[in-house]
Amino acid sequence: MIKKLLLTGVASAALMLSACGGGGSDGGSTGGTGGTGGTGGGSTTPTASVKVTGPLDTAQNTLSQSILAPLQTATAGTPLAGLISCADITINQNTLDIVDGVLNGLRNPAALATTTPAQIQTQVLQLSQNLTTLLTSLGGNGECDPDTNGTAISSNPLAGTPLAPLGAAVLPVLQQIQAQLGPRAGGGSTQNGFASIAALVVQLDTAFSSGLAQLPATAISAPVVGGVLTTVDGTLGDLSTVLTALAANNSAALTTALQNTVDHLLVNVLTKIVPTEFIEDQAGQPGVISGQVQNAAAQLAAALGTALGSVTTPLTTVLGSSQLAPVLDPILNQLLPALINPITNALSGNLGTPSSGATGTPLDAVLAPLTTVLGTILGGLGGGTGTGSGTGGTCVFASLPLLSILCR
């Protein structure tokens, strides 16, 4: 079924969009909510973000409202709050909106031919703008806001810091995307269907991976901060695979790529951005919670792949609340409640034992060293080592205004 949709939809998309010039509007059709495809590329006027409605909305809303928002609120007033916000906007919202656009198109050949390329172009443009804001936020020069896309920048916002290689590698590609997909370019990338959009994301993935490889190891291992950076890296890789398979009309590769994207994103947000793996490692209990998340996410991704091969299974059912529960519950019901209160207490200068007390479960092995671990996460408030990652040595965040608190 997918192969048939791709064969008809992709060919039609290239012809129809080349004829109309690919203006980038989603036309208010199913799977999009108004707006135009080119927003802010090279512009100095921030514009409201555009959302794609699709079967992953439940996952997006739950990750935002129930997972990332409490963590952001608990870290309010620290550099971690802005970074978590950036992660929500770029990784959760933009990325899964791209996947939503693809999933909508696979079930609706008319949308695949007319609406989907413009939606994907819009989200890739917004992703580039929000990644620009993430870089400026790391440099202490801005904050993430889901309703105001970042303005264009001409110089590396991380210059003079240990994170400079990341900005140097990524900024030229971000500028290229915004110039090519923004309103001044007339949204012209969709004139060649999905191929030119995929090529831009591949370039961005390559650049981000290159920049990340040049960063100090302590930046990558730092809790939350390293989790965001490595999750962005993995997400860009998955997106490039999805869009390349879509452009190549390879239905088998596309199904696998969509499964991997959903699987990896859920696991990385729940175990790396939420510092689940870090806490487990510090407790000497690797996998006690993250293992549950990984297993459940793999099963959900497999169900998605099965549903993509059927015309009768609604994707909203496969990706609904009950199916997501096994993935999210270990974090929602176990780790997050035990994590939020100690963070709040730590920020108020009251580092004590977790208020939840003993649970009588294997989680207790994770909670036992939580005070010390949180001291590291929040910048040594409980006797951190001054590295932001508990490894000793020079803090790579010392010269970054917003992140220097991680070095205390």
133 C-beta neighbours (distance < 10 Å), count? 27
pLDDT of residue 311: 81
3-state helix, strand, coil in the chain (%, to 5): 65, 0, 35
- Determine the residue type at 52: V
pLDDT of residue 11: 31
Question: What distance in Å separates the CA atoms of residue 157 and residue 164, rounded to the nearest whole number?
Answer: 8
Question: What distance in Å separates the CA atoms of residue 164 and residue 158, rounded to the nearest whole number?
Answer: 5
pLDDT of residue 101: 95
Helix H segments across 139-250? 164-181, 194-213, 217-221, 225-247
253-283 per-position pLDDT tens digit: 999 999 999 999 999 999 999 989 988 887 7
**Domain residues for 398?**
2-407
This prediction has a pTM of: 0.80
Structural domain count of the chain: 1
Q: Which segments in the chain show pLDDT lower than 70?
A: 1-48, 140-143, 145-152, 184-192, 345-408
Question: What distance in Å separates the CA atoms of residue 322 and residue 211, rounded to the nearest whole number?
Answer: 39
pLDDT of residue 356: 46
pLDDT of residue 404: 62
pLDDT of residue 348: 61
90-121 per-position pLDDT tens digit: 999 999 999 999 999 998 888 888 889 999 99
pLDDT of residue 81: 81
With a CB cutoff of 8 Å and minimum separation 6, the contacts of 361 are 334
pLDDT of residue 341: 76
With a CB cutoff of 8 Å and minimum separation 6, the contacts of 153 are 132, 135, 136, 171
pLDDT of residue 42: 38
| Residues recorded for the chain | 408
pLDDT of residue 374: 62
pLDDT of residue 26: 31
pLDDT of residue 99: 97
pLDDT of residue 138: 81
